Chains A and B, each alone.
Chain A
Amino acid sequence: MTQVTYIQPDGSETKVDVPAGMSLMQGAILNDVPGIVAECGGSAMCATCHVYLDPSCADLVPPLAEVEIDMLESAASERKETSRLSCQLVASDELDAVTVHIPLSQN
């Protein structure tokens, strides 16, 4: 299980315990965290689950996958060094906690 902190553009936070094996996108959708649309449901096809990984967590998760690199071209909000698709970030028992920032818009 990973404790995920989702931070909204206005600074408000939601903490969710996401079970191992579940993506941060699914964790947000199932817990009504606003700002993650996830139209394609996790196939890395829509770029509407875009998040910014908190810089403090950069070394905690696997690097950008190739599908993310390509699909982030389609993100509605500014693409940054820390941009990720939350459908590709997966909670695990080895990852205690991670923080992501929700962008202003997804589509």
Chain B
Amino acid sequence: MVSVATPSTNTLPTTDFDPYDEAVLLDPYPHYETLRELGPVVYLERYGAYALSRHDEVRAVLADAETYCSGAGVGLANFFKEKPWRKPSIILEADPPFHARTRKVVARVLSPASISRLKSIFESEANSLVDKILAMGDFDAARDFSEAYPLKVFADAVGLPAEGRENLLPYGDMVFNGFGPINERFSTRLSETTNSIEWISQVCRRENLAPDGLGADLYKAADAGEITHEEAEMLVRTLLSAGLDTTVFTLCNAMLSFAENPNQYALLRENPNLARQAMEEVIRYEPTFHSFYRTTTRPVEIAGVKIDENQKICVIIGSANRDPRRWEKPEEFDINRKVTGHLGFGTGIHGCAGQMMARLEGEILLGAFARKVKSIRLTGEPVRHLNNTVRGFESMPARVVAQ
């Protein structure tokens, strides 16, 4: 086995770029441009990992789960060499053939056919929430809107109790920090999350879940023998870690994108049926997920660069979505763009299992917003939430005016 992560060819550019530096988290795009121009593969000397920042290479790696595995962890830590900070996920960090069993169950529970039953309740909650912020006029587009909606509708859909939901976002924040290095940002969050972890482990138990929710559906799959009951409990926890912060931040990013691009909001307001494709462009233009890792299962060559077995590769989807080799005017937010093929949800067998749920929430909330809101503008500087992997906001002071 190859033990040292040294670059194996002279043509490989090395860089001291730090994807987790505060300045990068605040505004990664100029850094991504530099990285893309440096080469299709670069070596992050600070972390002893390779990095891909162009669309084609990122896509190819995500599409080949046998060569670029997730079982060594999707964060910087290599579980084949060091002890994981938590038990690896039985879906996200599982490889074929074991992955297919859990993925099949989760994919079914979150499939369009399964979640279509939620549409009417999602719509009525969306209308109520938009009415509420219109009554406020001045509101926090992060807390009052983007957090409020998934914490209500997604948590209800899973079947969680109404009390204690304030534990959900800190828990997800901690998990997504763990997709990067085990740095101070992660450690601080982990130490602050003790109570949230306890609450989460309680609500994932079958007796604490509503009998008709998505969480209960996972236990029914266990009753049917497809997975074990212990696995069902772990997968409910996966729904909670993966399904809240991500959607919250995506909605924040939508609010910011439209507040900063009033011409695009005008297009959406004229035709609210564009809401679904507009959300898709939000996720391309201002993706929530920025980077995570794969690990080579054999010696490989990417764009002429040889990489040994058992090496960590950082896939920067936030950069791939802005790669001018793939997208025309990638820095422009254009809701009429043909956006199919963006990598904001990843792709391949580990592509986001909740992506159709995210689309449903996003389309319905943004559609309701566009039907009722004449204009949105920022009234103060938005405050970014800093996380190793996902980008969103703590607060976003804004003003809306009714139609």
By a CB distance below 8 angstroms, the chain A residues around B371 are: none
Whether the Cβ atoms of A43 and B111 lie closer than 8 Å is: no
Contact of A66 among B100, B113, B340 (CB under 8 A): B100
Whether the Cβ atoms of A41 and B107 lie closer than 8 Å is: no
A12-31 interface mask toward B, CB cutoff 8 Å, 1 = contact, 0 = none?
A: 00000000000000100100
Q: Chain A binding site: helix, strand, loop or mixed by DSSP?
A: loop
Whether the Cβ atoms of A39 and B359 lie closer than 8 Å is: yes
Whether the Cβ atoms of A73 and B345 lie closer than 8 Å is: no
Most B-side CB within 10 Å, residue of A26, A40, A107: A40
Whether the Cβ atoms of B107 and A67 lie closer than 8 Å is: yes
Whether the Cβ atoms of B111 and A70 lie closer than 8 Å is: yes
Question: Can you name the residue of chain B whose Cβ is closest to the Cβ of A107?
Answer: B112
Contact of A42 among B108, B111, B347, B352 (CB under 8 A): B347
With A45-B353, A45-B356, A73-B113 already in contact, the answer to whether A39 and B107 are too (CB < 8 A) is: no
CA distance A44 to B112 in the complex (A): 12
**A interface, size bucket:** 20 to 34
CA distance A41 to B59 in the complex (A): 11
Whether the Cβ atoms of A74 and B347 lie closer than 8 Å is: no
By a CB distance below 8 angstroms, the chain A residues around B108 are: 70, 73
With A70-B104, A70-B107, A71-B107 already in contact, the answer to whether A41 and B112 are too (CB < 8 A) is: no
In the assembled complex, how far is the CB of residue B10 from the closest CB belonging to chain A, in whole angstroms? 30
With A41-B341, A42-B347 already in contact, the answer to whether A66 and B112 are too (CB < 8 A) is: no
With A29-B340, A29-B341, A66-B100 already in contact, the answer to whether A40 and B107 are too (CB < 8 A) is: no
Most A-side CB within 10 Å, residue of B112, B338, B341: B112
Count of inter-chain pairs, beta carbons less than 8 A: 67
B346-360 interface mask toward A, CB cutoff 8 Å, 1 = contact, 0 = none?
A: 111101110110010
A100 contacts chain B at the CB level, 8 A cutoff: no
Most B-side CB within 10 Å, residue of A38, A47, A74, A107: A74
**B interface, size bucket:** 20 to 34
Whether the Cβ atoms of B347 and A43 lie closer than 8 Å is: yes
Whether the Cβ atoms of A39 and B111 lie closer than 8 Å is: no
With A45-B353, A47-B112 already in contact, the answer to whether A38 and B340 are too (CB < 8 A) is: yes
By a CB distance below 8 angstroms, the chain A residues around B112 are: 46-47, 74, 107
Whether the Cβ atoms of A41 and B345 lie closer than 8 Å is: yes
By a CB distance below 8 angstroms, the chain A residues around B355 are: 40, 43, 45-46
In the assembled complex, how far is the CB of residue A40 from the closest CB belonging to chain B, in whole angstroms? 6
A50-79 interface mask toward B, CB cutoff 8 Å, 1 = contact, 0 = none?
A: 000000000000000011001101100000
Contact of B111 among A26, A41, A66, A73 (CB under 8 A): A73
CA distance A70 to B111 in the complex (A): 9
CA distance A46 to B112 in the complex (A): 7
CA distance A71 to B111 in the complex (A): 7
By a CB distance below 8 angstroms, the chain B residues around A41 are: 340-343, 345, 347, 351
CA distance A5 to B302 in the complex (A): 33
B-to-A contact residues, CB < 8 Å = 63, 100, 104, 107-108, 111-114, 280, 338, 340-343, 345-349, 351-353, 355-356, 359
Apart from A43-B352, A45-B353, A67-B107, what are 7 other A-B pairs with CB-CB below 8 Å? A29-B340, A41-B341, A41-B351, A44-B107, A45-B355, A71-B111, A107-B112
Q: What are 11 pairs between A and B in contact, CB < 8 Å?
A: A29-B341, A37-B340, A39-B280, A40-B345, A40-B356, A41-B342, A41-B343, A41-B351, A43-B347, A43-B348, A45-B352
